[in-house]
Chain A
Amino acid sequence: MTSLRIDKHPVLNFPERKIVNFNFEGKQYQGFAGEPVAAALHAAGIRTLRHSPQKNRARGFFCAIGRCSSCIMEVDGQINTMTCITPLAEGMQIRMQKGHGTIKA
């Protein structure tokens, strides 16, 4: 789909997966169903996932296995979602998280 996707690898094979559409900050993108949201965003060229609460610094993912919380975003209205371990699904609405985010009633 983009240049960051590996299409030929000397050791590994990546199976065909279903393509799904998702929305990031109002724009439409495509990714593979079931891959982590952070991975789909990364492949689409998006590295800044949120801004830090105190100094408003750009943050991306770090550990990719749900340990460090560097990748938290708002997914389908739910803030503080660890996007490196949240599987991508059709129609997901993904937004950058500003600071601590706001809980919606």
Chain B
Amino acid sequence: MSRNTEVFVIGGGPAGLSAAHVAAKLGAKTLLVDDSARVGGQLIKQTHRFFGSSNRDAGIRGVTIAEKLQQDIEEVSDRLTVLENTAAVGFYHNKEAGILSQKAYERVTYQAAIVCTGATENSLAFDNNDLPGIYGAGGVQTLMNVHGIRPGQKILMVGSGNIGLIVSYQLIQAGVEVVGVVEGMPTIGGYLVHASKIRRLGVPIYTSHTILKALGSDGVTGAMLSRVDEKFQPVPNTELEIKCDCICLAVGLTPLIDLFQQAQCRMVHVGELGGLVPLHDSAMRTTNPDIFVAGDASGIEEATTAILAGRIAGARAYETIHGKSPQAEAIVAEAREELRTLRSGSTGERIRWGRERVLKEVGEC
């Protein structure tokens, strides 16, 4: 079987939902596929109140933002088809792609595609890092906040960025004992508000420490930590054994980019954005003129910026099919302004720098 659409959106996280909403609202026939059982992306596991822009939902819980985005897309359901449990598996030439669900493999013919596949979790090298009981932070969140199951009774968190700190708090909410947070840097990576929250609850944060090995033979029973020096080398005789039944790795995300590579989009490595990202201009268009990108797939950032970039991509994708439109232009102008505000200030510095590098490569900066 084959399907025909004008705009084809891959991934139903905040970026993809926003892109699909805008494209359909402006008048494009739109198809969105997501390979999970429920659209919402990372948001459906996030029970904490969000940081970010107050125009764009800061202070609201991730799960609530997901519900809001879902209501938005229902409003345009006459032009927008959403397929859950359906993965985009590759692009053909001539604006065609393949999608796979449990039931069937189908071809999709489109005029513009917006790829919003999000990110995958990083692992970390240490002895026994493959033992059962070692999970990614997203995995822990999925198990706990989507399926209602604790990862274990006592957990060690590796990484004190915002994700490590927030997931630690969520673990405590779910009744799991967090035995400590390990951080290689001399200072805590995430916002102080999140760190203070878990410190008040008695969780020790081990800065300038690393995990040397996981203990146990067929499952985690503990971890061996050690202090590290300025060059991140373990300091001898500072080993510390901690008892726990699971370990959570919150050591960053990498953009999920296989589809761009397969579509032969030019890629560029930008450390500030999490690794290899598809080169794109300020319209979020990649070097393959029919393919746009938005959200974490274009560089690891946050949900509010993913929503805004999704709106830009949705509006520009609409325009490539239906021609210039004042409404689309207004959406883009508003989103750009909000993005500028969001990325200003010292916390946005690294992102700004990374984004500028991408634009420089395409000659827009």
Closest to B121 in A: A63
Q: Which of B22-56 contact A (CB under 8 A)?
A: 35-37, 47
Interface centre among A3, A49, A64, A67 (most CB of B within 10 A): A64
Q: Which A residues are CB-close (under 8 A) to B139?
A: 61-65, 84
Asked if B162 is an interface residue, CB under 8 A from chain A, the answer is: no
Establish whether residues B132 and A60, one from each chain, have CB atoms under 8 Å apart when the complex forms.
Answer: yes
Interface size for A (C-beta < 8 A) is: 34
Q: Which residues of B contact A58 (CB under 8 A)?
A: 131-132, 217-219
As a 0/1 sequence over residues 79 to 91 of chain A, the CB contacts with chain B under 8 angstroms (1 = contact) are: 0000011010000
A11: chain B residues at CB < 8 Å are 47, 61, 63, 173
Kindly state whether residue A47 has any CB partner on chain B within 8 Å.
yes
- CB-CB under 8 A for A42 and B133, given A9-B173, A47-B219, A65-B138: no
Using CB atoms, name the residue of chain B closest to A7. B148
B7 on interface, CB distance cutoff 8 Å = no
Contact status of A12 and B145, CB under 8 A, knowing A4-B150, A59-B132, A63-B136: yes
A57 at the interface (CB under 8 A from B): yes
Taking a contact as CB atoms under 8 Å apart, the answer to whether B142 and A12 are in contact is no
A contact residues around B138 at 8 Å (CB): 63-65
Within the assembled complex, what's the spacing in Å between the Cα atoms of A48 and B120? 22
The 10 residue pairs across chains A and B that have the minimum distance between CB atoms = A60-B132, A64-B139, A14-B148, A47-B132, A58-B218, A64-B142, A11-B47, A39-B147, A6-B148, A4-B150
- What residues of chain A have their CB less than 8 Å away from a CB belonging to chain B? 3-6, 9-12, 14, 35-36, 39, 42-43, 47-49, 52, 57-68, 70, 84-85, 87
